[in-house]
Amino acid sequence: MMFKKIDHIAIAVNNIEKSAKLFEKILNVAASKTEIVKSEKVKTKFFHLSDSKIELIEGTEQNSTVAKFVKKKGEGIHHIAIEVDDIQKEIKRLKKQGFNTIKNTVSKGANGKLISFLFPKDTKGVLIELCQKTN
């Protein structure tokens, strides 16, 4: 089975520290430490909820995809991440079926995972991230 589970749902925010305090109250769980993901120009914090996570993301530069998203659409759900066993194999399979990835290469994301995003135009407007754990 290539798709394992929903790894996380990401929420784009203006201020990750203020947003983390809000979600700590809602979820009654502490957020992880802040991590900078240079390849995506974001800061991240995760809330671990049993078998999945909620990720807060804040753009680190005004020209980052996340900063542009928040400016255009406001804060809110940004993407759904699905964990896969073999990201390269899954991308190849999806491309054969007509789906496109935003970048032609796999990037290193938060928590050292390999990541790739599918174009929302191909997925009914939903940004889907494929992610694979690394050893």
Instruction: Give me the number of domains the chain comprises.
Output: 1
Full residue range of the structural domain in which residue 124 is found: 3-132
Q: E strands of 1-135, at which residues?
A: 3-12, 35-37, 42-49, 52-59, 76-84, 107-108, 114-118, 128-132
CATH code for position 51: 3.10.180.10
Tell me the whole-structure pTM to 2 decimals. 0.92
d(CA 56, CA 41): 13
Tell me the sheet residues that pair with 7.
none
CA distances from 25 to 30, 60, 120, 126 (A): 9, 25, 31, 27
d(CA 46, CA 63): 23
d(CA 56, CA 106): 21
Per-residue pLDDT of the chain in tens (135 residues, 90 and over written 9)? 467 899 999 999 999 999 999 999 999 999 999 999 999 999 999 999 998 999 999 999 999 999 999 999 999 999 999 999 999 999 999 999 999 999 989 999 999 999 999 999 999 999 999 999 987
Phi and psi angles of residue 18, each rounded to the nearest 5 degrees, phi first: -65, -40
**What per-residue confidence (pLDDT) applies to 16?**
98
